[in-house]
Amino acid sequence: MRFSFWEITPLALFIIFIAPVAIVLFSLTGDYSDNWSHLYQYVLTRYILNTAYLVAGVSILVTVVGVGTAWLVTNYNFTGKNIFEWALILPLAVPPYILAYTFTGLFDTFGTANNLIRDVFDLGREFTFFPKVRNVPGAIVVFSFTLYPYVYLVSRMAFINQSRTMLEAGRTLGLNKFQTFYKLGVPMIRPAIIGGLMLVVMETISDFGAVDHFAISTFTTGVFRTWYGMYDIETAKQLASLLLIFAVTLILIERYSRRNASYSNAMSLYKPLYLTKLKGIPNTLAFLICFTPIFIGFLLPVMELLYWALNYKLDFFNDKFITTAWNTFYLALIAAFLCSLLAVIINFSIRYKSNNYLKVMSSFLTVGYAVPGLILAIGVMQMLTYFDQSFVSEFSNFVLTGSIIGLVLAYVIKSYALSSSTIEAGYQRINSRVDDVARTLKTSGWALLAQVHLPLLKTSFLTSMLLVVSEVIKELPATLILRPFNFDTLAVYTYIYAAEERMYDAAAPSIAIVMVGLIPIIILTRMIRTSRPASRY
């Protein structure tokens, strides 16, 4: 049996994408060093407990904020409602580690907020108004107000698709407005909420920058310390494997919940919701409820960063910044182009060959999105070291390890899911009969892809590139581990300055990251506007 390029490529990619993860997991079958007894005796419980506290706290807060705001903007008309609809997604542009840095600068004993209170009320230096933020509750707030948009987005889409008749039936059965919300509205979209929540939890357990800055011991900081502090890569991998198993469990829950997510919008008798006009105190309350998360998650950090950048660091636009920004952008562009191209090739293969094995292969390729960057970086580094030692060492030392190849590979594996879903959506808009006709006109394989599909996928391809660029620019742990010597990106630049408590220096790269992070949000907002069934509402 002969295999064509369209069948071999997905298989080759599958091996490359799965190998780093498999390398990490394979460590569980190896020897366990003495460091495990140290970990077990002193820190493992703390890693588990802190991670559990974070997950629990963040889950509760994002559910309250995400679902509550989504319900308000979908069912009520109040001051600023039209702006809140899209502005509630803005905090997605701020990575948790940047909010953590700005929180420290704002709320530390001598941070901007405490200084302001002291100045306004003429209080002594020993007076501290705001509580300390470098602890688990502080981290819960940081994660919740940067990640709640995941829950907000899915809840809003699900609420929009809810039929008025069902909620009205609830009212006639004696439920008041609040009871309609928590006894009917929320339970009906539960699968969607769980799906969004799992994404939040995945991001929380994967984070390194914020918890490291707050000096909270979690699994990710533990893996980092075991590797760089104890110089024990095997134990670090074994620790990472536990985190990976947890992440995979979350993916399975997310996929399972997404499978059932359509029951709320499968109603044949769909009737769009009527908006209730709020006045007086309810109007003010609704405004405040929606404004607060945007203020904490987006406006506050952006204002603080701009204040630092403009007041204390006017020379931020220096050579170092330009070099770092250039490094970041060209790296992000390479990764984005490769990701989008691979997504086109894989999705084309599935369509062209209509082969079930290719579909299964493709779904495995998207798993990288859920693998924490730190784990991916360890796996990629081990894989490249193996290649260097096995094949390249004859000619030179460590050609692949420590080069940007590893970095690009990790970015591609991590961001492939974004590209794939975008290109897949683009393909769904191309009628399959176009392919049939093109084939009868002697156009197949590469010609079909280049002459027919690519021109039609132009927008999807660009969208995919933008999404990956913004994802790559924010990525921190994998970049910290895999970057070549003396090679900084904006995220690393921010991390290093923040670690040295040089917040003013960290401001400019942070602003650049937030600005780029706004791109997918604009795209997302446009997509939601054009996709919803009750768009006029």
Which residues form the interface with another protein (CB under 8 A)?
431, 433-434, 436-444, 451-452, 455-456
254-261 long-range contacts (CB < 8 A, ≥24 apart) are 254/194, 254/195, 254/198, 254/199, 254/202, 257/191, 257/192, 257/194, 257/195, 257/198, 258/191, 258/195, 260/191, 261/154, 261/158, 261/191, 261/192, 261/195
Q: How far is the CB of 457 from another protein (least distance, A)?
A: 10
- Give the shortest CB-427-to-another protein separation in angstroms: 14
Q: Take residue 469 and report the two structure tokens written for it.
A: 């660029």
Q: Closer to another protein at the Cβ: 321 or 461?
A: 461
Distance CA 380, CA 78 (A): 50
Determine contact, residues 492/56, Cβ cutoff 8 Å.
no
Which residue's CB is nearer to another protein, number 436 or number 500?
A: 436
Q: Which residue lies nearer to another protein by CB, 11 or 441?
A: 441
**Alpha-helical regions (H) of 231-372:** 233-259, 280-294, 300-311, 319-353, 356-365
**Looking at beta carbons only, is 254 or 435 nearer to another protein?**
435
Closest CA to 471 of 58, 186, 95, 39: 95
What residues have CB less than 8 Å from 163, skipping those under 6 apart? 267, 269, 270, 271
Per-residue buried b or exposed e for 358-376, using 16+ beta carbons within 10 Å of the residue's own CB = beebbeebbbbbbbbbbbb
CB 151 within 8 A of CB 186: no
Q: Least distance (Å) from another protein to the CB of residue 347?
A: 18
Distances (CA, A) of 137 to 56, 100, 150: 11, 12, 20
Least distance (Å) from another protein to the CB of residue 432?
A: 9
3-state secondary structure 175-213: CCHHHHHHHHHHHHCHHHHHHHHHHHHHHHHHCCHHHHH
**For residues 46 and 36, what is the distance between their CA atoms, to the nearest angstrom?**
14
Check: CB of residue 418 under 8 Å from CB of residue 342: no
Q: How far is the CB of 459 from another protein (least distance, A)?
A: 11
User: Least distance in Å: CB of 436 to another protein?
Assistant: 5
Rank residues 37 and 444 by Cβ distance to another protein and give the closer one.
444
Q: How far is the CB of 440 from another protein (least distance, A)?
A: 4
Shortest gap between Cβ of 266 and another protein (angstroms)? Answer: 25
Shortest Cβ 352–another protein spacing (Å)? 12
Nearer CB in complex with another protein: 284/444: 444
Question: Looking at beta carbons only, is 360 or 434 nearer to another protein?
Answer: 434
CB nearer to another protein: pick between 219 and 352: 352
Which residue lies nearer to another protein by CB, 428 or 444?
444
